Structure 1
Amino acid sequence: MKQMLLDFQPAPVPSLVNFVVGRNQELIDALRTLPLAEQGAASLYVWGESGSGKTHLLKAATALYLSRGLNAAYVEEATDWSRLSAYDAVAVDNVQNLDEDSQVGLFNLFNEFRDAGRPLIVAGRDAPQALEVRPDLRTRLGWGLVYQVQALSDDEKSQALQRHANERGFRLPQEVIDYLLAHVRRDLPTLMGVLDSLDKWSLTAKKPVTVSLLKQLLQPASSPTQ
C-alpha cells in the first residue's frame, strides 16, 4: 500500500498559478506577456539547476498560450522541427540534450520565429554562454530575454508545503516539514509528491500527520520472501 501511494500519486497539472514564485516574479510576468511582445522581441531563455521548475514553467506557458487561442507546442526531444514552423508558440526543454541535427533545427526555427515575432521559449541547464551547443545557436539563445530560475529558500519551501497542506485540509506540523527537507530530495515537485502521499497514508491509517508516520511511509517496501 505504501509503495502504491508513492508511485501513483498524480502530479498537479503545471500552471503559472500553482508555480511557487519565490524570487521569480519578473520571469513569471515575462512568460505571461511574451505572446504580446513586439515583433523581434519574442524569445525567452530560462536556465537553472535540476528541479528548479524549468519544465513546470515551459509546460505552464504552453498551456497559457493554448488558452489564449495560440497553437502552442511543448518539445523535449528530437522532433520534426520543420513542422513546428506552423505553430504560433513553441517551448523547447533541455536544450543541452539536443543532438547536432536538432540543434540545427532549433536554430532555423529561432530565425523563423524571430522574423515573425512569435513566442519561442527555450530552457537549459546553464546560462547561454556556458551551454555546450553549436556556437550559432548559443548566440541566438542569448539574443532575447534570459532568466535564471532562482531556487527557493528553505523558508519558501516550508511556506509552500504549509500552504499546500492547508489547501488539502490537513494539519502539517513544522517538524514534519523539517524532516522532509532533511531526508527527501529537495526539489519542490518531489516534496509536494511525498506530502500528497503522506496525506493519503494518513487517511488510510486513520492517524494524524506526524514524523513517525512520515518515516513509515518512506521505509522501503519489504522484499518478498525467497
Structure 2
Amino acid sequence: MQGNFPFSQFLKSGNSINNFDHLSNIPVSTPTNNQELIGDFDVEEIEMMNQEIHKVLQNSVTTQKYTAFFEGSFNLKTINQGTAIFTVPTQFIKSMVEKNLPQISESIFSILGKQYQIDISVEGTADQQTAPIEPPKARSAAEVSFKLDLEPKKEDLLSKVESKYIDHINPEHTGILIDPVKKFTNFVVGPSNNMAYAAALAIAKHPGKAGKYPSLYIHSNSGLGKTHLLHAIANGAKENYPHFIICLITARDFMREMIDAIKAEQLHEFRKKYSEKVDILMIDDVHELKGREGTQREFFHIFNELYNKGKQLIFTSDKTPQEINGLEERIRTRLQWGLVVDIQKPDFETRTAIIKTKADELDLFLSDDIINLIACNVKNSIRELEGSLIKLSAYTDIMKVDIDIEMVKDVLALKEHEDERKVTLEIVAKTTSHHFRIPIADLKSKSRTKDIANARFIAMYLSRKIVGATHEEIGKFYGGRDHSSVVHAEQKITKQLSSDSQLSRDVMTIENSL
C-alpha cells in the first residue's frame, strides 16, 4: 500500500463521528503477494472503509432511503489519486444515490479525514473503471452484432415506485416556497382538526391585529396537516392582501440564515428584514430552536417587534410549548400568548374523505372496499395515507396493471381487519364511562346534571356512528328513553363538534380507544 493514507489525520480529527481506532492496526507497507492492490489501497482496506462509510450513511439519510438505494447496492470499489469510486447495480439507483452526494462526501471525510472526488459507476457499463480492459480483437463487420436491451428490469420499476413513496413521506427541501396547490379547499376537515382549520381560515381573512388571532401555535404529530394549513394561510392571505409580505420558513433555515448573516457581518440587515418588512411570519417546526441560545435571542427580539406592530405570527411544532426542552422561558411564554391548538389523528370518516380527495387528484379509481381497507390500516398520518395512494398510482402507471383489492394488499402490505373486536353498545358505554369517570349506571339513569347528560349524549352519538344501532335500540339501552331523545343527542353533538374543541378532543379520544 502506498504511504499516503492519512491515518494520523483522521484519527485525531474532531470531525470523526465514530470510533475507528481499530483501523490504526492496518499496516502501512507494501502489499504482500496475497494482498491485491486496487488504487491506493488493498482489497481488505477498501472493504473495511466501505463498511465504515455505510455506518455513517445510515445516520445521514432516512432509513427508507438507505434500505432502498444504499444497502447492498452502493459499494466502494477503489480510491485512486484523490477519487473515491463507487459502484451501483442500475442507472436508476445511481440517479437516486447522486441526490445524496453531500452526505456521501461527509461520510468519506468523517472516515478518512480529507475530501475526495466522488465517482459513481454502474456495474458492467463502460464508465466502470475498476478492472483493466483487454484490447478488443479485430473482427469483421459481419462478425459484429449488437444486442440492446431497452426493456427495464422489474427491480428497477419497483425501485421507481418506492422512490415516489419515499419522496412523499420524507420530503427533502431547504427553505419553503409557498405551494399554490395546498389550499383550504382541498384540506379535509374533521373532528380531529376543525379548530386548527377554523383558526387558520380566520387568519387568512383577517391577519394580525385586525383579526382574532395575531399569534397562532399549531402542534401535532408529523404528517397530520400542519404544513398544509401554513400554505393554505399563505395562499389565502396572498389573495386577500396581495401587498402583504409573507415569510414562510422552517426554524432550521431561519437559524442557518442568521448564522450566514453573522459570518457576513450583516446581522443588522437580518433583523431589519424580519422586524420591518414582514407582515406575516410563519415558522414551521419551531421546536428546532431548542438549545440554540443565539438564535433564540434574535427570535425573541423579532417576535416582540412584530407582535407590538400588530403583525401576524404563526408557528407549528410536534410538541406544545411546555414540552420543548432547551427553550428559554421568555420564548415559551410568548409562544403561548396567542391561540394554541392541536391536531389529532384523523378518525375513520376523515381518513376515508382524505383517500377519496387524493384519489380524485391522482385520477385514481378506488372501489369502496379498497378505500375502507386502506382507511382501516393506515391510521396515524395523513401524509402516510396520501403516500399510499401515490405508491398505488405509480405502481399502476409503471407496472401497467389494474387496481384490485389483492394487488392493493400486496403493494401496500395491508391486511383485512376481520379479526378486530366487534364494538357493541356495552363497549361504547364502558369506554365513555371510563373517559369521563362517570359510572355506567349514571349514564343509564334519569339524571340530567350537565356532566352526566353530556357524557350520555356523546355515548349515544358514538353508538349511532360506530355501532350503527337504531335510535330505538340506543334509547332502550340508556334507561328506556324514547327514540326522540337519541335523535336530539345525535344532532346536538354533531352541531357542537364544529365549534367546541374540548368536545372534539373527548369524542376523538373515546373513538380512538374503541
Could you tell me how far apart the structure 2 residues matched to 1:58 and 1:204 are? 33
Tell me which residue corresponds to 1:27.
Answer: 199
C-alpha displacement at 1:194, in angstroms? Answer: 2.2
Unaligned runs of 5+ in 2: 1-156, 169-178, 259-269, 414-514
Structure exhibiting the larger radius of gyration computed from Cα positions: 2
Write out per-residue CA displacement over residues 26-85 of structure 1, whole angstroms, 9 at most, x where no aligned residue: 233333234264389511111112222112222332333334321111121113352322
1:123 aligns with 2:316: yes
CA contact 2:348–2:376 (8 Å) conserved in 1 = no
Tell me which residue corresponds to 1:160.
Answer: 354
Could you tell me how far apart the structure 2 residues matched to 1:101 and 1:17 are? 39
CA contact 2:208–2:311 (8 Å) conserved in 1 = no
Write out per-residue CA displacement over residues 111-144 of structure 1, whole angstroms, 9 at most, x where no aligned residue: 1111111111011222233332110011111111
C-alpha displacement at 1:163, in angstroms? Answer: 3.2
CA contact 1:39–1:118 (8 Å) conserved in 2 = no
TM-score of the superposition, structure 1-length normalised?
0.81
CA 1:49–1:126: 2 relative to 1, 3 Å? same
1:134 aligns with 2:335: no
Question: What pairs up with 1:1-226 in 2 under 5 angstroms?
Answer: 1-8=157-164, 13-23=181-191, 24=194, 25-35=197-207, 37-38=209-210, 42-67=214-239, 68-69=241-242, 70-76=244-250, 77=252, 78=255, 79-80=257-258, 82=271, 83-85=273-275, 86-98=277-289, 99-132=292-325, 133-181=327-375, 186-218=380-412
- Identical aligned pairs, as a percentage? 26
Q: What letter matches 2:248 in structure 1?
A: Y
What secondary structure does 1:17 align onto?
helix
Q: What letter matches 1:22 in structure 2?
A: G
Write out per-residue CA displacement over residues 4-47 of structure 1, whole angstroms, 9 at most, x where no aligned residue: 13423786842222222213242333332342643895111111
Could you tell me how far apart the structure 1 residues matched to 2:222 and 2:363 are? 30
Could you tell me how far apart the structure 1 residues matched to 2:400 and 2:282 are? 43
Could you tell me how far apart the structure 2 residues matched to 1:39 and 1:164 are? 32
Unaligned runs of 5+ in 1: 220-226
CA 1:17–1:105: 2 relative to 1, 3 Å? farther
CA contact 2:202–2:211 (8 Å) conserved in 1 = no
What secondary structure does 1:64 align onto?
helix
CA 1:18–1:40: 2 relative to 1, 3 Å? closer
Could you tell me how far apart the structure 1 residues matched to 2:335 and 2:390 are? 37
CA contact 1:75–1:93 (8 Å) conserved in 2 = yes
Between stretches 140-149 and 124-133, larger displacement belongs to: 124-133
Between stretches 63-72 and 144-153, larger displacement belongs to: 63-72
What secondary structure does 2:316 align onto?
strand
Tell me which residue corresponds to 2:504.
Answer: none
CA 1:39–1:59: 2 relative to 1, 3 Å? closer
What secondary structure does 2:216 align onto?
strand
Alpha-carbon RMSD: 2.8
CA contact 1:199–1:209 (8 Å) conserved in 2 = no
